[in-house]
Amino acid sequence: MTKLMTATPLEMALLKDLPRQDPVRQRLLDHGMPHRRVEEWKYSDLRRLSGPVESQGKISVKSARTLMSVPVAQKHSPSFMAALALSLGDEGLAFAVAAEAQETLSLELSATAGRAHKVLRFELGKGAKLTLHEIYRAHAGAFANILIQIVLGEGAELIRVIEQDDAPDALLVVTSDIELSPKARLHQTTLGAGAKLARLETHVTHQGEGAEADINGAYLIAAERHLDQTTFVRHCGPHGVTREIFKGAARAHGKGVFQGKILVEQGAQKTDAQMQHRAMLLDERAEIDVKPELEIYADDVACAHGNAMGHLDEDVLFYMRQRGLSEAEARTLLTESFLLDPLERIPDEALRTRLLGQLQTRLRGQS
Amino acid sequence: MLKITNLHAQIENEDGEAKAILKGIDLEVPAGEVHAIMGPNGAGKSTLSYVLTGREGYEVTKGQIVFNGEDVSEAEPEVRAAKGFFLSFQYPVEIPGVPVLTFLKESLNAQLRARGEDEISAPNFMKLARENAAKLGISNDMLKRPVNVGFSGGEKKRLEIFQALMLSPKFLILDETDSGLDIDAMKVVAEGVNALRAPDRGMLVITHYQRLLDHLTPDVVHILADGRIVKSGGPELARELEADGYDKYVGRAA
Ligand SMILES: Nc1ncnc2c1ncn2[C@@H]1O[C@H](COP(=O)(O)OP(=O)(O)OP(=O)(O)O)[C@@H](O)[C@H]1O
Ligand SMILES: [Mg+2]
């Protein structure tokens, strides 16, 4: 936003929410909300998509376990939305897993209509294990901005499963900041459906040596919805492994975005990083935008990315219908089998079964 | 059972141009009979199989397809399938990611539902699948793989007949199911097809070769050339073609 541009109603409201001396306020004044001329938001114009959000909303976190309430640490973040959450997040919630301990945590994060920000922090001690299940439910009229900070200690292991299925007129931005100590293992899987705009932005940093990250996702975008999955993986230590497998499908008037960046710093020799995105347009009026990026400063690495886009094959559909399946059933079966892969890789059996079931329900519920 | 009268059909290509392929076909296959269709490449045999099963882009411009007293020429493919049409494809299609058994169970149940019958239970389905697979020498491993993906030409044809056995259709159209089969596979497939012969079932067998017909002994052999049936006769007609070729019929059709 140039100074000449008028602030949108949401920007005006946020400017009022932010304390005068807060540097985030100045950033908002100077640049506005993220919009399509900002490279990282090229395909997801948050500024344009967000209408007026008059009231203050609330993000409640439901869990069988108790989360600790902690003050939000005021720290600078290069990501505007993360910085905004740090400035305006009402209270921070934290959960720590002690060294060598093993925990399971299931969270339901629901956002009511209105502006709301939240910061959650998870810490895994050395050799700790956590299975973390997050369900996002942003309701009609919500503008929910959530920052998740996760630190994995040496050799710690996190299985993270995210379900996103928000109201068609909700805005949701979840920025995850994940730091991997040496030999830490992350296995993240998302199942996304979109919202007016839902952005799941994941930053993973391989701080130490020999960490491993699986970052997978399946998405099925319904009509009039927009889902943006952006991943940014930074390899700082040597012998790190990253695997990304994303599979998606979009229906008529649905929009999907996949942006994946892998940055390999000079010291990150023997990095092994692969990123794959495959998507299917279920209708001519669906849109999927993809931007894979590799930026490599080390000379002894194995990095690759692949992307493929397709349609359901008419010959295959006829063959299936000849055997008795209706066109809708045939499409559902093909789409389902196309999307399964990332979900079948979930290491936790209960969560794997749950998400495969979710996919089935979503496919059959909205055709 | 199946009565085709004065059937004209055209294919619409991607640019929307129509091309007349079937130019007035009359054909009647009574229940319990096996009819063979032979004819030169490009005559319209596969086109006929697609028109009968309702493939998009194959438009009936004139005439009728009456199945058990009902005109089905406008029905959707799945509706015709539920009424009992089964096509063994000349070129079976690969269905990535969908295992054979999943596909067939879904298909069979879809047909049963469409006919207002009860769905088949999982154990009964498995039992049926095992029995039919054994008849055709189809391995367990093949049943778990995605439909036709990575199957050899002969395996695909065998799988078509396996599907026919599983779905137990009322009317079978075999489009060159014998092409690409080795001698032993031909026997196995022919036995599978023969097992499907029944007083209440009709068959249309499209082929270029005598060998399958030796196994099946068709009731009638038709010659299709340039979109018309130019001659019909007994099994001896197939033998005559084997010896003399299509020359005199192609001439007559032109
Ligand atoms: N999609 C299409 N667009 C245009 N022409 C087509 C199309 N499909 C088939 N044809 C033409 O229609 C004619 C009949 O084809 P068809 O496949 O029915 O022949 P066939 O008798 O089955 O031949 P074969 O013995 O080689 O299998 C051919 O001339 C073919 O080129
Ligand atoms: Mg043919």
Query: Ligand 2: distance of its center to the CA of B203 in Å?
Result: 16
Q: Once rounded to an integer, what is the mean pLDDT over residues A160-167?
A: 94
- The residue in chain B having the minimum alpha-carbon distance to the alpha carbon of residue A341 is B97
Flag if A322 and B87 touch (Cβ within 8 Å): yes
Question: Mutation test of ligand 1: which of B12, B15, B17, B21 has the most ligand atoms closer than 8 Å to its C-beta?
Answer: B21
Distance from CA of B204 to the nearest CA of A (A): 16
Q: Which residues contact A148 (CB under 8 A, 6 or more apart)?
A: A119, A120, A121, A122, A134, A174, A175, A176, A177
Distance from CA of A40 to the nearest CA of B (A): 34
pTM score: 0.91
Domains and CATH numbers, chain B: 2-93+170-253 (3.40.50.300)
Flag if A334 and B95 touch (Cβ within 8 Å): yes
Q: Once rounded to an integer, what is the mean pLDDT over residues A91-117?
A: 96
Flag if A334 and B107 touch (Cβ within 8 Å): no
> Residue A227 and residue A360: Cα distance in Å, rounded?
19
CA A169 to chain centre: 18
Q: What angle do CA B231, B236, B241 make, to 5 degrees?
A: 60
Residue B253: its pLDDT value, please?
45
Closest ligand to the CA of B55: 1
Q: Is 0.90 exceeded by the ipTM?
A: yes
Q: Which residues contact B182 (CB under 8 A, 6 or more apart)?
A: B154
- Please compute Rg for chain A using Cα positions: 20
Quickly list H helices, chain A. 9-17, 23-31, 46-49, 80-88, 314-322, 327-344, 349-365
Helix A327-344 vs helix A349-365: crossing angle, to nearest 10: 160
A199 in Cβ contact with A172 (< 8 Å): yes
Q: Which residues contact B239 (CB under 8 A, 6 or more apart)?
A: B210
Flag if B76 and A321 touch (Cβ within 8 Å): yes
Query: Ligand 1: distance of its center to the CA of B90 in Å?
Result: 12
Q: Amino acid identity, residue A117?
A: H
- Residue of B87, B95, B96 lying closest to A320 (CB–CB): B95
Count Cβ–Cβ pairs < 8 Å, chain A vs chain B.
Answer: 71
CA A35 to chain centre: 18
Counting from 1 in the atom list of ligand 1, the atom nearest the Cα of B40 is: 25
> Residue B183 and residue A333: Cα distance in Å, rounded?
36
Residue A367: its pLDDT value, please?
44
A115 in Cβ contact with A89 (< 8 Å): no
Q: Which pLDDT tens digits describe chain B residue by residue (254 residues)?
A: 999 999 999 998 878 889 999 999 999 999 999 999 999 999 999 999 999 999 999 999 999 999 999 999 999 999 999 999 999 999 999 999 999 999 999 999 999 999 999 999 999 999 999 999 999 999 999 999 999 999 999 999 999 999 999 999 999 999 999 998 998 889 999 999 999 999 999 999 999 988 899 999 999 999 999 999 999 999 999 888 888 888 888 765 44
Give residues (CB < 6 A) around ligand 1: B 11, 13, 19, 21, 39, 41-47, 90
B238 in Cβ contact with B213 (< 8 Å): yes
pLDDT at A228 over 60: yes
